[in-house]
Amino acid sequence: MTAVDSSAPAYAGGWRLWALLAALLLISAISQIDRILPFILAEAIKTDLGLSDTQIGLLTGAAFAVCYTLLSLPLARMADRGSPRLVLLGCLLVWSVMTALGGLAAGFAVLALTRFGVAFGEAGAMPAGHALIGRQVEPSRRGLALGLFSMGIPLGTMVGFAAGGAMADTVGWRTALVGAGALGGLAFLLAALVIRPTPPRPRAAADRTPFFREALRLVAAPGFRWLFAAAVLIGFASVPFYVFASPFLIRTHGLTAGEAGLSFGLLQGGLGVVGALLGGRGFDRAMRSGRGRIIGLPGWLFLVSAATTAAALFAPTAWMSIVLFVPTMFSFALLLPWAFGAAHLVAGPGKQAMATSLMLIGSGLVGPALGPVIVGAVSDAAAADGLGNSLGLGLLVVPLASALTGIATLVANERIAATLRRP
């Protein structure tokens, strides 16, 4: 399971390594920018195209999530079997072109098609990026590489909301989308120059196994099964938290939208960057320790964050709620490189992209589709019964899901250690 893939090319070193990591960080950030731009541009798009809230929801919600998660597995298989460089470059080009074309849309149908195109392209970005890391980064630095790649998510979120909002107010939503697509085109040229070719791996008998069967076989492995459970549960914790945390601060504590957005947005971005970097380095140290228990710290942190988030929902002041939210924001970011690194270890060489794709399916399909609905339904029911702090009651889903994520992560930690101890 831990043997080095002899078919892999020589690992990148020196300036080539840092250039590769910089290119992957840039691609990750642009992917996140293009994904969340419609969130901040939604009101301008709705007014200009005469769309309903339902249509806006379809553009930004479940339809994108379903397309993204279901396409990631076949694209991951392509990256594992062939050249992850070509898969990543092709995906980057597709979603950049589709983002730019979205700025030219004259109605809902065309805009929806461009968003499906963005989802198609972005579905292969993280699996192919992780496959590149598996082939071109030496094992002792893979945690750092995964942390830097994951850091693009909070960076892209901050830039997307800040720049997207400013451009919507000044030059319009169409220019914002076209500009984001052009930025992706520049990143494509840079990545094509920096990322070295990755020759296809020799085809073994295992490679001829249908990829759905191979994916089911991986999920059946005890360590990976519990990692997948943790991924599903974190979807129920993270998405409702990010959707409703700012409205909670506004309704319950009387903050303005600007105050809530500034305090929550800056904290989320800053903690996301720090958490991703520390998570990557922490995974590298856990691997070097040789104890086999490689993912315990994030599990314990999720148990702590469950308690602090529950307290935050009933704190008497806004600043206390925000401070008590900090462990939750930090734990979400810290877990990313740790969980992906553990999934790659369990999957073995040549299956990093598939492992990443399965983790993305777990975290990105069920939780994002159902979590916010559950929170909203509980909040509406509480408000109808005349209960105060109704949104806080609905948000209790977050600490519950966080506690279950922590438990699943700790079980995965033990299962992986037991697997590694086997001769």
| Chain segment 321-340, per-residue pLDDT in tens | 999 999 998 998 888 888 88
Residue-level pLDDT at 80: 84
Average of per-residue pLDDT values in the chain: 84
The Cβ of residue 356 has, within 10 Å, a number of other Cβ atoms equal to: 29
Residue-level pLDDT at 6: 43
Greater pLDDT, 202 or 197: 197
| Chain segment 362-388, per-residue pLDDT in tens | 887 788 778 888 888 888 888 888 888
**What is the arithmetic mean of pLDDT over 48-65?**
72
Residue-level pLDDT at 210: 67
Most confident of 116-120, 158-162, 240-244: 116-120
Residue-level pLDDT at 5: 43
Q: Distance of alpha carbon 250 from its chain centroid, rounded?
A: 26
- Is the Cβ–Cβ distance between 10 and 130 less than 8 Å? no
Query: Sorting pLDDT into bands at 50, 70 and 90, what band is 165?
Result: confident
Residue-level pLDDT at 280: 84
Query: Sorting pLDDT into bands at 50, 70 and 90, what band is 166?
Result: confident
User: Residue 26: is its pLDDT beyond 90?
Assistant: yes
Exposed / middle / buried, residue 203 (Cβ in 10 Å: 0-12, 13-18, 19+) = exposed
Residue-level pLDDT at 200: 59
Handedness of CA 227, 233, 239, 241 (dihedral sign): negative
- Is the Cβ–Cβ distance between 176 and 168 less than 8 Å? yes
Task: Tell me the C-alpha distance between 362 and 364, whole Å.
Answer: 6
Residue-level pLDDT at 2: 40
| Chain segment 215-230, per-residue pLDDT in tens | 788 888 888 999 999 9
**What is the arithmetic mean of pLDDT over 103-129?**
90
Would you give the DSSP letter of residue 205?
A: G
**What is the arithmetic mean of pLDDT over 107-127?**
89
Residue-level pLDDT at 279: 86
DSSP class per residue in 69-92 = HHHHHHHHHHHHHS-HHHHHHHHH
Share of residues in the chain with pLDDT > 90 (%): 32
Q: What are phi and psi of 259, to 5 degrees?
A: -65, -45
- Is the Cβ–Cβ distance between 334 and 154 less than 8 Å? no
Q: What are phi and psi of 157, to 5 degrees?
A: -65, -45
